[in-house]
A and B are shown apart, each in its own frame.
Chain A
Amino acid sequence: MKNEFLKNWDTQLKKGLLPLFVLQALRKKECYGYELIQELKNSAGIDVTEGTIYPLLIRLMKDGLLAHKWVEQSSGIPRKYYSISAEGKKNLRDMKNAIEEILSKIN
C-alpha cells in the first residue's frame, strides 16, 4: 500500500514522463486521440484525460515531433490520426538515454 507521499510522487513522475509515453505509443502505431488514451492506459498504466492529452499533442505537433492526418469515417465524424515524425523518433531515443543515465546514477 502506497503512502500519500509516494502516491503524489508517482503522479508527478508519470506526468513528467507523459510526452515520452505518448511518443512511445505512437512509435508502435498511429492513433487517434481516444485510441491513444486507451493505449496509454493499457500499455503504461497511465490514466490520462482528453483535456490533458489534447494540449500535449498540440505542443508535440508544434515542436515537429508528430504528424497528423484526418481520416473520414462512415459515421461522418472523422478521426485525427497522430504519428511520430523522424524528429520525434530521434527525441524519443534521446529521452530514453536520459532516463537510462538517471537510472545508472541511482543504482
Chain B
Amino acid sequence: MKSLQLENKSAQRIYNDYIARCNKALRILSAADKEESLLEFNSYIYEYLEANKNNGKDEIENLLNILERLGVPEETFKELIASKKMNQALRTFNPKVLVQALILNIGNGFIYILLSLLFLIEVCFVGLSVFKVIYPHRVGVFVGSHSFAIGYSNAQANETELLGNWFIPAAIIATAVLYFFSLFILKTQKKINKI
C-alpha cells in the first residue's frame, strides 16, 4: 500500500498511527486480505482529504474528521474479519483457523454455537485418545446393565469396556467425521444464505 504523504507533520503522525492500528486490527487475516482492506481504508482517507482540500479547514482537522467518520478500526473491521476468517477456514481445512472463525462468528447465530460444541467434542475425543494410552483401563466405551458412557470412568465392576485398544482409532475416526461434518454444515449454510 502506498502511504499518503501529508504536508503537516502532526497530521502525518496521526495518519501513521491510525494505519498502524488498522494493521494490528487486521493481523489475524491473510496477507492479501489485509492488504486489500488497508488499500480501501487508505483510499477513503485520500479521497476525503482531496475532496475537502479547499473547505477552509486545515489538514489535521480534515484528517481527524475522516478518521472519526471511519470509526474505531477494531469495530469497523469486525464484520470483514469474521467473514474472511470463515472463508479461510473452509478453504484451508485448518483447525486453528476454524476455531478463530467460530469464535469471531459465535454472536452470529445458533449454528455457530452448535458448531463450537461439535468442535469441543472433537477436542475431547483427541484428549481421550491420549488418556487411553496413559490409563488403558479407565478410558473407553463402558456398558453396564443400566449405564452407557464414553470417556473416562472409574471402571465399576458391573461395567464392561467394549472397544479395548480399538478405542483410539475409533476416537480419531469420530473426530475426523465430526470435523468434516462441521465443514459440511458451514458450506451448506453459506449456500443457503446465497439463495
Q: Which residues of A contact B (CB under 8 A)?
A: 32-35, 49-52, 54-55, 58-59, 62-64, 70, 75-80, 87
Given contacts A33-B44, A79-B47, 10 further A-B contacts (CB under 8 A): A33-B43, A33-B47, A49-B71, A51-B70, A52-B71, A55-B76, A55-B79, A75-B50, A78-B39, A80-B40
Taking CB atoms and an 8 Å cut-off, the chain B residues in 21-51 that contact chain A are 39-44, 46-48, 50-51
Residues of B in contact, count (CB < 8 Å): 25
| Contact flag A50-B78 (CB < 8 Å), given A77-B43, A79-B43 | no
Q: Would you call B66 an interface residue if the criterion is a C-beta within 8 Å of the partner chain's C-beta atoms?
A: yes
A66 vs chain B, min Cβ distance (A): 13
Q: Which residues of B contact A (CB under 8 A)?
A: 2, 4, 39-44, 46-48, 50-51, 66, 69-71, 75-76, 78-80, 83, 193-194
Contact B80 A58 (CB under 8 A): yes
**B-side interface mostly:** helix
Contact A63 B43 (CB under 8 A): no
Contact B76 A51 (CB under 8 A): yes
Contact A55 B80 (CB under 8 A): yes
Instruction: Give complex CA distance A75, B45 in Å.
Output: 13
Interface core residue of A33, A58, A64, A70 (most chain B CB under 10 Å): A58
Instruction: Give complex CA distance A32, B98 in Å.
Output: 32
Contact B70 A54 (CB under 8 A): yes
Partner of A78, one of B43, B48, B50, B71: B43
Instruction: Give complex CA distance A87, B195 in Å.
Output: 9
| Contact flag A54-B46 (CB < 8 Å), given A76-B2, A77-B2, A77-B4 | no
Contact B69 A49 (CB under 8 A): yes
Q: Which residues of B contact A62 (CB under 8 A)?
A: 83
B111 vs chain A, min Cβ distance (A): 16
Chain A to chain B: the 9 pairs with minimum beta-carbon distance, closest first: A51-B71, A34-B47, A55-B79, A49-B69, A77-B46, A51-B76, A76-B2, A50-B69, A58-B80
Partner of B43, one of A32, A55, A87: A32
Instruction: Give complex CA distance A5, B75 in Å.
Output: 28
Q: Which residues of B contact A54 (CB under 8 A)?
A: 40-41, 44, 70, 76, 80
Residue of B nearest to A55 (CB): B79
Contact A33 B40 (CB under 8 A): yes
Interface core residue of B43, B50, B71, B83 (most chain A CB under 10 Å): B43
Residue of B nearest to A75 (CB): B46
Q: Which residues of A contact B48 (CB under 8 A)?
A: 34, 50
